Homo-oligomer: A and B are copies of this chain.
Amino acid sequence: MRSENEADGQKKRSFIETARRAQIVACAIEVIAEVGYAQTSLALIAKRAGISKGVISYHFKGKDELIQQVVDEAFTSGDAFVRSRIEGQMTAAAMLRAYIEATVEFYRTHRAHMTVLLDIWSAFRHEDGRPKLDTTANEPEMAAVEEILRFGQLAGEFREFSTRVMAVTLKQAVDGVLTQMAAYPDLDFDAYTRELVTTFDLATRKER
């Protein structure tokens, strides 16, 4: 079984295996996006991938490992993209704007990933019922945003506020795009982005 290799250092994973894993994860995302996590069974994923159920069990220790992979994929893919867009900026305000714009753009282009993440969020739990995913999973992103905010305060661009609360609020505000885009397919992303940028500019900048 694959799992052992992984356990003792996940060194060697053959090319073909990597490909299969990626394919299965991709199909899992599609299926979950369509029918929801609760209605998703390994059988459904296998059918979508055109393979037999057993293959999934062969490549993943169990359903949980597969889902974890789906989550990881959704998390890390966005992170890199957004970071790259922030890095070029000089002022805190510009960074904030870049964060908002990049995140919304990522959401727009990765609709399925995000839908799935949102869906798995509450359903994915340990055996005793404790959620495997909670706000702490957002800590890395949250920390990055707080850094920007603190930088702005130190630089005299931003007023005094709890960087924590502002970071959470910002994240939630941007996530609002997700909820709207699910319900209203022809959402005007650019307009939405501009509104958010203005709103948080006003909310953070130092009043004269």
Contacts and interface: CB of A to CB of B under 8 A. Distances in A.
A136 B183 CA distance: 7
Nearest to A162: B195
Name the prevailing secondary structure of the A interface residues. helix
B161 A198 contact: yes
Contact of A200 (B123, B134, B175, B203): B203
Number of copies: 4
Interface in A159-208: 161-162, 165-166, 168-169, 171-173, 175-176, 179-180, 182-184, 191-192, 195-196, 198-200, 202-203, 207
Nearest to A121: B122
A134 B182 contact: yes
Contacts of A39: 125, 129
A128 B165 CA distance: 39
A118 interface: yes
23 contacts: A36-B123, A36-B129, A39-B129, A118-B122, A121-B122, A123-B123, A135-B184, A161-B195, A162-B192, A162-B195, A165-B191, A165-B199, A166-B195, A168-B176, A169-B195, A169-B196, A169-B199, A172-B173, A172-B176, A172-B179, A199-B203, A202-B202, A202-B203
Interface of A: 1, 4, 34-39, 43, 47, 118-119, 121-123, 125, 128-129, 131, 134-136, 161-162, 165-166, 168-169, 171-173, 175-176, 179-180, 182-184, 191-192, 195-196, 198-200, 202-203, 207
